Amino acid sequence: MKSLFFIVFILLVLSCFNSSNACSVFVTGYTVYIKSTIVNEDVTLRCQSKDDDLGYHVLNSSKVDYDWSFCQHVLGATLYFCHFWRPNYEQVFDVFNTTIAIHCRQGKLDHNTCSYEVRDDGFYLFEQHNYVWLKRFNWKRASSTELPNKYTLSP
């Protein structure tokens, strides 16, 4: 009888986690937030993980930012990388992996934020512990000014 109560209790606790829209136990929620401060040019980006393609998005003065959220198990190895394009320049790098997660943790269950700024001189990540922007990458001169062949805008 005691163990039945225990099981019911655990189920109640789990359902609380779910109803608050947080990730469940042993899982941490992250948000990757990308903002462009380049006002005079379109920055196109495409972010992907092993089994998830988030599609093409354009950042410019009418839409400066883009974000998505996901849950990661404590033993998990979630990885998202993004490809960025602007006239004459491009870059590609991991925006989320187990190393970067350290910079994003705010001790919350959900929405620990990996905050990026795309600037004229490169890509910056906000270090949540020290409240500083770390420059991670420069823009790379593109071999071609063309956008990728299968360029389609997601709604």
Ligand X SMILES: *[C@@H]1O[C@H](CO)[C@@H](O)[C@H](O)[C@H]1NC(C)=O
Of the candidates 155, 154, 126, 137, the one whose C-alpha atom is nearest the C-alpha of residue 31 is 126
Which of these segments, 8-16, 24-32, 60-68, 144-152, binds ligand X (CB under 6 A)? 60-68
Which residue has the closest beta carbon to ligand X?
94
Nearer to ligand X, 142 or 147 (CB): 147
Q: Is 3 exposed, middle or buried, given 0-12, 13-18 or 19+ CB atoms closer than 10 A? A: exposed
Rounded to whole angstroms, the Cα distance separating 79 from 111 reads: 16
42 lines the binding site for ligand X (CB under 6 A):
yes
Binding segment for ligand X among 3-11, 19-27, 94-102, 143-151 (CB under 6 A)? Answer: 94-102
Which residue number, 23 or 82, has a Cβ lying nearer to ligand X? 82
Q: Is 100 in the site for ligand X (CB under 6 A)?
A: yes
**Measured between alpha carbons, how far is 5 from 11 in angstroms, rounded to an integer?**
10
Q: Decide: helix, strand or coil at residue 74.
A: coil
> Taking contact as CB under 6 A, which single stretch among the options 21-29, 84-92, 96-104, 105-113 is the one that binds ligand X?
96-104
The angle subtended at Cα 6 by Cα 5 and Cα 10, nearest 5°, is 115
134 touches 117 (CB < 8 A): no
Site for ligand X in 118-137 (CB under 6 A): 136
Shortest separation between residue 76's beta carbon and ligand X, angstroms: 13
Chain contacts with ligand X (rule: CB under 6 A): 42, 58, 60-62, 93-94, 97-100, 136
